[in-house]
Structure 1
Amino acid sequence: MKLLRQTNAPAFRKIISKWLLIILLMYCGSLHAQQESSQILVNESFMGKTLINILDELSAQYQLTLDYDKKDIQNRVMTAQFFNDEPIENVLSKLLEGQEVHFTIAGDRKIIIRKISEVLIKTYDPSKFNFTLTGKVKDRVSGETLPFANIWVKSTQKGTSTNQDGFFTLLNVPSDTSTIIIQYMGYLTKELRLYPDLLSGPLVVEINPISAELEEVVITDRKEHIMRASEGISTISISPAQLTALPSLGEKDIFRSLQLLPGISATNETSSGLYVRGGTPDQNLVLFDGFTVYHVDHFYGFFSTFNANAVKDVQLYKGGFGAKYGGRTSSVVSLTGKEGNTHKFSLSAGISAISANATLEMPFADGKGSFLFAGRRSYTDIIKSGLYNDIFDLFNEDEDNGNGGFVGRGGGRGGRFAQTTIEPAFFFHDLNTKISFRPSSKDIISLSFYNGQDNLDESNDLNSDNLGGNFGGNFQFQNSTTDITKWGNVGSSLKWGRQWNDRLYSNIVLAYSNYFSDRDLFSETEITRSDSVFNVIRGTVEDNDLKDFTLRLDNEYLLNEQHSLNFGTQITSNNIDYNLALNDTLNVLNRNDEGLVTAFYIQDSWKPTPQLTIVPGIRVSYYDVTEQSYFEPRLSASYQLNDKIKLKGAWGKYYQFVNRIVREDVTQGSRDFWLLANDITNPVSSSIHYIAGVSYETEDFLFDVEAYHKEMDGLSEYSLRFSGPRSRGFDELFFEGSGYARGIEFLLQKKFGKFTGWVGYTLGEVIHEFPELANEPFHALHDQTHEFKIVNSFRLGNWTFAGTWVYATGKPYTAPIGGYELTLLDGTTSNYNSVGSKNSLRLPDYHRMDVSVTNNFKMGQATAEVGLSVFNLYNHTNVWYKTFEIIEDDVITTDVNTVGFTPNIFFNIKF
């Protein structure tokens, strides 16, 4: 044999002879032991007991000698029952199923349990060479498959990753005794040595989540926490299960955590949306189990709509993303929902200063299926916590209550006659359910549903008596205001994934999504003077309803070790209604848009050498509204210069057919609404991405630098701000612009160990050009030149200490310079502000520090965690925006500040 020729032959033969003797003795012993063990029949119930306790009971009840090391056993809770005189070897086989151990009945009622790597591997010579390895990666505790886990052959550059359903194919594995390494965010890194008997069918690899570590197990494997940024170009992976380690404003929040990454703005306390490399939240494609989510905010944006307890995996593509994704011009966030525990019933619950949540998981169909239910609801309509009051006061500080300036803050020249405080009724809720079924080892079918909604009621009844009399005897008034706002998302998807063979995998998804935002504001005021009575009626109705029906087919075909193809098609039908009416008489804008986008894409991941990967692709979309085809070529490449240094770059063209239009109103604040592009009032938007970077990675650290330039065209804005009296109608107040964003990002991450975290810095610029709104290009509202972030997490036993610090230069804003009166189309007059140069001023610099401490502990058979987090620890005053009043030609400026020092306590328990 070649192996014998390369090794000291006598010594090698001696080792082989020794192991053959051991195997022979074990085999002979097992023959004798099987005769004896066949008389050991078990009749026991082990419901709710841990595996180690069961082994101890078996040892005592049946006079067995069990020889094993507790650190080799994953001590999970069992639900096994044996009532039919079950032979001991069958009992042990069932109890130890999924464990990486092998048992031998050695005689004298002695049973030896050893790790597979210690007993079996050394007894096998390889029988296959350069073979194809297929399988799936699963969570050992819940049985869920894990998407985007990394698998590679140790000491080689051969590797792959699981797809969204947890399946993988690895070509040309050197031998069936090779060692493979499996790594996934928030889980222990695992080394698994293959052996022929293990590969009789598709390989199922189970790995342990960090949260499942047991006190009696000595952990020596390496861990990855929270975030991984070393894979792909502008690609970030986040572990939702580990987000409790980070400080939060009140909820464990996925999108708030993403804001701590370089290239994404972290100073938007009132928006969970992502401002990625100069883009705006509507330019991000957000997918949850295959359906599109159009609005990601709860509670004015302080929390995102996604319950982290219902999310299994998060993939963020900050730019240069592949041809599989389309319809957005900035970035992609792909979230995979949890499927539910396939092993046993599981229940968890939690409470914080804002909301309470519960998650239920249970298997069915003998573990082939699972069900998940996750619900969350704020109790802010019942209990007004300090955190709730801080947040609502922030928004209520400058709200015009629709009372014509008589109550609250007036607009324009209206002044203030009196001021009062409204106690609003507000709450939000969201619900996730998912049913998954695996009819075979090659198929998975899932049905996912999401519903989230915010409800705000600021209705009130006021009169001059409860505001201090008749204001000097001039008049009295009575006011009745109805002010109800609702907004939310509904989404659902039906998905079938199938592995047709070792090389072809397909996913077909039928998805539905609905975003709605409804505001009904109606105010009637009766004013009584000494000689007259008259009524003032004001109101605003603003409704936006967006429906999305999508059918998508994605295919992955592994052609050979050099070429991996992705191809598919997508059909999306959109129906969007928007209506804005003022005072029941003035219909400002009424749109009903329908459109169909049909797209096809193909992409090849080509590895001409083991060090070089080139990914060319193209996406072609046909949009029936404009009756045009849009070609979107994409190209990315990476080159592994050596073991530590990787060079990378990407370029791509992107189009967007559904746009969120900003409605600028200096006096009432900017609002936004969704419309379909039509190339008449609002164009199809587009962007071109240019990205180049280099990363330096060791076992413990990653240093990554990426520079980007993004050209943007077809930007839209709808403005009710006039630079002077004009005759154009309200439906013509759309403005078209272009722009660019450019910058450079730095990331230094410590990946492993008790102390982990990262430092990020972004130097960037975002320039917009709207010729009809400004005479020259201007910095966008979300432009920030410098942004610096520090994120740290330290684990000490069951305690986790974490802290974040964010610093950023101020954002631009526009200030008024005077006022004027304008006659509207319905003949009425209104006061307007005359503004200065667009975004020519800057808010003060922003910075804050957040800290948290979390303790994990056991409560009987349950696990629990309790924690304290503090937002804005040193109570720095950050300016959110400025408001303006013009009184006697003087501009009065008021700073509206963000939330100050805000503590939050949370408690979670899992049964």
Structure 2
Amino acid sequence: MKRIIVFFISTWILSTSAVFSQTIEVDCHSRPLNELLIEWREAYQLQFSFNDEQLSHYKITIKQSFNSIDEALSAILKGLPLDYQKSREVYIIYPVKQTKPLKSFTLVGKIIEAKTGEPLPFSHIRANDQQTVTDIKGMFSFNFQEDSVYEVTASHLGCYMLDTVLVAGAQHTIVLQPSVFGIKEVVITNNIVEKSTQIGEASGLTSLNHHIANYLPGNGDNSVFNLLRLQPGILAAGEQPNDLIIWGSPEGTSRVKFDGFTIWGLKNFNDNISAVNPYVAKSIEIQKGGYGVPNDDVVGGIVNIAGKNGNLNKPGVNLFINNQTLNGMVEVPLFRKSSLMLAFRQTYYNMFDKDDVSYKSNNNSNSQIDAIPDYEFRDFNIKYSLQGDNGDLLYMSMLYADDDFLVNASQERDRSSWEQQTREDNHQLGATLFYGKTLANGLSSNLKVSYSALYSHYSQLREVSNRRNTFKVVRADEQDQNDVGELSAQWENRFQMGERNSLTMGLDFVHNDLVLYEDTFDTRYIDLTERANRLSIYAQNELKLASRLYMTAGLRMNHSFFLNKLYFDPRLSLSFRASGNIKLNASWGRYHQFLVKSSVEDASGNYRYSWSIADNDEVPVISSTHYVLGGAYTPKNFLFSIDTYYKTNDGLTRFIRYRQESYIFIGDSRSYGIDFYAKKDFKGHSVWASYSLSKTEDHFPFYQKDEYRRAFQDQRHEVKLAGLLNLGRFHLSASYVYGSGFPLYNSYVDQSYTEADYNRLDASLVYRLASTKFDGEIGLSVLNLTDADNIKYNQFNRVPFDQLNTVYINPEAVPFTPLLYLKLHF
């Protein structure tokens, strides 16, 4: 029995080995595959399983030798929608399902305003389950697979939302109607007005529609700043004259951009005139922190203001006059696709009198001080823009502004008298040349060249006289000049990589010029002229990880030729839409700043700021890390948001002047806080409220205690309330700001300080005019309605006229100020 079993096993092994070891010869021409397999079955004792009818349709032509049946099967099935599998001793031939390649479609278009043809940047648009934001040209693009018809929802702040259906292939133009019309008889119903404020689309991001500012108190010449100061996280208390303080950032670390060039001083000495003419502003985007790599090299916040491009449909004239300034703008369409826009503002009398400059003595002396201020402001905007039917945009925007302030102060005492003249002149230049193109495949490419400069001169002369012998002593004689210029070129490209992915890549080149000199009693303490170049390369990937989860990861690399050093700034953000109305955001990032503003403080506690180019010797590059976490709840006509942040800054510079000597100290700071914001729109009315709880501390080696102390810009609490009532032709509005105050230190070494609360209530009444020939407004705004005695941040001057007493000369924060204005549009 055992011999029989061994015989059969040996026979099976030998026969099997023969099959797999023998050479398979195949020589056929257009032979049906089923017949070829049947032949193999008989010749090599194989077992096959297949669909005889199906395989008969495949003709095989081959002449080749194979070492095994598997090698032969693989060769004849190559290129056919067939595959095989061996189950025990049976070769199973089966069809393979062919995956049809998905067809890709691209949806490209632009969003414009109906009345003017203006492209609308920062508009939100959703197509099926994808969403995006239009660029500066108002352009958008999507990539889809298989689907070529889309349900589209487009919205822009201050315009009616539009629902429509679009198809792929053609470039589309979406026209949005503004929600405010000058003709009373036009009635639009069953439309949802997009909110005038958008918060929560990304970490630390706020988008504003400038139209709403037309009805806020003080809307005439300062509507841009009045709108900004009512947003959470932007310091309103103190009414700082030259900078925005966003989330506790030190002076000079935030940046304001208009049409691509830098505004070096957003607000001038007069708080009722902003450095941006409200006639030329269109959309405002605030990035308080945690922003992506395409943005400027700063460590604070960024405000991007997009200017109007001009009316393409008909010429227009805008005139504005109040009891302080004249303002006018002219729009002229050219050749149907381009427009020229001119705007000009000018003060027509000295807006300050001696009652606008206050004083107080540290020994509560009631000695009379006479102060006579003088102020003059003017600016000029010109912009030419050309819009192509294919979405191309070309524009050139230019700005020139003058801001001159002078105050003469004097005091008569029993035995002596003193006189002081303080003067500061600022001249702002700015220009941008921009060309942007969006191709049919969704590729968006923008090229921008910008130049901006600020020329600032400060002087102070103080003399003390002896009334007995008329002997006069010069106690202060200072001349300071600080000029800063920036030439930049940016090339940015955005690629659509499919339904879930888009890539942004860019290249920045920046050249900075700096002139800084300080002269005291004809002795030049600082005489500096510097130039620096840097090159930045950045890439950012926006990826849809899941149906509700989005990630943005980017890297910005800065090479400073001035320092011969490379800096890496990685940044990451996540957004999760928990439901249709709830969105959560988180971001982290590293940031560096190469053009910095250093504080200069004297022994009396006076401090000013001057621009410097970081040299990593006396003035280091500022580095910062941002952590931002927030969320928003946005049901219909309601908005509630929370933003929390923690920011650190290393490399802050402070110059100390003491007894004709100068010292340089390097310090650091940290800021953390939380913003709450709620807004309700109902029946054409809007009300909103915000509360900011924050803490900002800094540390310098000269502090008496080796610990952090409150920074100059630190304020613990700030509450803002605002409301607008739409009563047909009448618009009523009011805003209120309360701040718990910031520390006013007695000197640079003395850690004791005073802290005054800030209170300001503004109110406005506007009546809209309309006729067949023009429309306009008559309005009355009252600023600081209660005439609260507020202190302006960083705008007081200490005058030590003897060993014991000091006088504070302070151009007050906005006092009780009624503004009556007339606005016309033809």
Q: TM-score range by the shorter chain?
A: 0.7 to 0.9
Secondary structure of the residue aligned to 2:252 is helix
In 2, the alpha carbon distance for the partners of 1:329 and 1:509 equals: 22
| Pairing of 1:675-714 with structure 2 (within 5 A) | 675-714=612-651
Contact 1:225 1:242 in 2 (8 A): no
Greater CA deviation, 203-212 or 871-880? 871-880
- Does 2:196 match 1:265? no
Which residue pairs with 1:17 in the alignment?
A: none
Secondary structure of the residue aligned to 2:765 is strand
Q: Write out per-residue CA displacement over residues 729-764 of structure 1, whole angstroms, 9 at most, x where no aligned residue.
A: 53xx22110121001111112245422132111111
Contact 2:143 2:497 in 1 (8 A): no
In 1, the alpha carbon distance for the partners of 2:603 and 2:680 equals: 45
Contact 1:271 1:302 in 2 (8 A): no
Contact 2:542 2:551 in 1 (8 A): yes
1:580 partner amino acid: E
2:750 partner amino acid: S
Task: Pick the aligned partner of 1:764 from 686, 694, 699.
Answer: 694
Secondary structure of the residue aligned to 1:358 is strand
1:508 partner amino acid: L
In structure 2, stretches of 5+ residues that fail to align are: 1-101
In 1, the alpha carbon distance for the partners of 2:431 and 2:226 equals: 24
| Pairing of 1:471-870 with structure 2 (within 5 A) | 484-521=423-460, 536=474, 539-584=477-522, 586-665=523-602, 667=604, 669-720=606-657, 722=658, 729-730=661-662, 733-751=663-681, 753-775=683-705, 776-815=707-746, 837-838=750-751, 840-870=752-782
1:852 partner amino acid: S
Over 3 Å counting, the alpha-carbon distance change for 1:880 and 1:659 in structure 2 is same
Deviation at 1:576, TM superposition (A): 0.3
2:785 partner amino acid: L
Greater CA deviation, 286-295 or 142-151? 286-295
In 2, the alpha carbon distance for the partners of 1:351 and 1:791 equals: 25
In 2, the alpha carbon distance for the partners of 1:451 and 1:329 equals: 27
Q: Number of residues paired by the alignment?
A: 719
Over 3 Å counting, the alpha-carbon distance change for 1:791 and 1:526 in structure 2 is closer
Which residue pairs with 1:436 in the alignment?
A: 385
In 1, the alpha carbon distance for the partners of 2:197 and 2:759 equals: 23
In 2, the alpha carbon distance for the partners of 1:147 and 1:537 equals: 54
1:219 partner amino acid: I
Over 3 Å counting, the alpha-carbon distance change for 1:284 and 1:751 in structure 2 is farther
| Pairing of 1:95-134 with structure 2 (within 5 A) | 131-134=105-108
Q: RCO greater where, 1 or 2, for CA within 8 Å and sep 6 or more? A: 2
Task: Pick the aligned partner of 1:137 from 111, 114, 130.
Answer: 111
Contact 1:763 1:787 in 2 (8 A): yes
Contact 1:544 1:576 in 2 (8 A): yes
In 2, the alpha carbon distance for the partners of 1:214 and 1:418 equals: 55
Which residue pairs with 1:192 in the alignment?
A: 164
Which residue pairs with 1:104 in the alignment?
A: none
What TM-score do the two structures reach when normalised by structure 1? 0.74
In 2, the alpha carbon distance for the partners of 1:785 and 1:459 equals: 35
Deviation at 1:884, TM superposition (A): 6.7
Task: Pick the aligned partner of 1:329 from 294, 299, 307.
Answer: 299
Over 3 Å counting, the alpha-carbon distance change for 1:528 and 1:255 in structure 2 is closer
Deviation at 1:523, TM superposition (A): 7.0
In 2, the alpha carbon distance for the partners of 1:417 and 1:851 equals: 36
Contact 2:221 2:274 in 1 (8 A): no
Which residue pairs with 1:99 in the alignment?
A: none
In 2, the alpha carbon distance for the partners of 1:596 and 1:697 equals: 44
Secondary structure of the residue aligned to 1:851 is strand
In 1, the alpha carbon distance for the partners of 2:510 and 2:460 equals: 34
Q: Write out per-residue CA displacement over residues 177-219 of structure 1, whole angstroms, 9 at most, x where no aligned residue.
A: 644221101112222344x6xx773111111222336433321
Contact 2:133 2:140 in 1 (8 A): yes
- Does 2:320 match 1:350? yes
Deviation at 1:418, TM superposition (A): 7.8
1:515 partner amino acid: L
In 2, the alpha carbon distance for the partners of 1:130 and 1:760 equals: 45
Q: Tell me how large the CA RMSD over aligned residues is.
A: 3.1
Which residue pairs with 2:188 in the alignment?
A: 219
In 1, the alpha carbon distance for the partners of 2:425 and 2:302 equals: 27
Contact 1:285 1:327 in 2 (8 A): no
| Pairing of 1:871-882 with structure 2 (within 5 A) | 871-880=783-792
Deviation at 1:522, TM superposition (A): 5.4
Q: Write out per-residue CA displacement over residues 450-507 of structure 1, whole angstroms, 9 at most, x where no aligned residue.
A: 11111234579x9xxxx99xx99x99x999x876531021011111111133221111
1:433 partner amino acid: I
Deviation at 1:873, TM superposition (A): 2.0
Deviation at 1:536, TM superposition (A): 4.9
- Does 2:356 match 1:376? no
Task: Pick the aligned partner of 2:218 from 215, 231, 248.
Answer: 248
Contact 2:341 2:383 in 1 (8 A): yes
Which residue pairs with 1:449 in the alignment?
A: 398
Contact 2:183 2:771 in 1 (8 A): no
In 2, the alpha carbon distance for the partners of 1:680 and 1:629 equals: 16
Secondary structure of the residue aligned to 2:221 is coil
Over 3 Å counting, the alpha-carbon distance change for 1:752 and 1:223 in structure 2 is farther
1:813 partner amino acid: L
Which residue pairs with 1:163 in the alignment?
A: 135
In 2, the alpha carbon distance for the partners of 1:290 and 1:534 equals: 51
Contact 1:230 1:702 in 2 (8 A): no
Over 3 Å counting, the alpha-carbon distance change for 1:674 and 1:130 in structure 2 is same
Q: Write out per-residue CA displacement over residues 708-738 of structure 1, whole angstroms, 9 at most, x where no aligned residue.
A: 1001111111122x4xx7x9x53xx221101
- Does 2:824 match 1:906? no
Contact 1:223 1:753 in 2 (8 A): no
Identical columns (%): 26
2:428 partner amino acid: N
Q: Write out per-residue CA displacement over residues 73-119 of structure 1, whole angstroms, 9 at most, x where no aligned residue.
A: xxxxxxxxxxxxxxxxxxxxxxxxxxxxxxxxxxxxxxxxxxxxxxx
Secondary structure of the residue aligned to 1:211 is coil
Secondary structure of the residue aligned to 1:251 is helix
Over 3 Å counting, the alpha-carbon distance change for 1:418 and 1:857 in structure 2 is closer
In 1, the alpha carbon distance for the partners of 2:558 and 2:494 equals: 20
Over 3 Å counting, the alpha-carbon distance change for 1:616 and 1:254 in structure 2 is same
Secondary structure of the residue aligned to 1:906 is strand
1:504 partner amino acid: L
In 2, the alpha carbon distance for the partners of 1:339 and 1:306 equals: 15
What TM-score do the two structures reach when normalised by structure 2? 0.81
2:518 partner amino acid: L
Deviation at 1:136, TM superposition (A): 0.8
Which residue pairs with 2:358 in the alignment?
A: 397
2:381 partner amino acid: N
- Does 2:205 match 1:235? yes
Q: Write out per-residue CA displacement over residues 388-417 of structure 1, whole angstroms, 9 at most, x where no aligned residue.
A: 44xx744x434xxxxxxxxxx99x99x999
Over 3 Å counting, the alpha-carbon distance change for 1:171 and 1:796 in structure 2 is farther
In structure 1, stretches of 5+ residues that fail to align are: 1-127, 399-408, 817-834
Q: Which has the larger radius of gyration?
A: 2
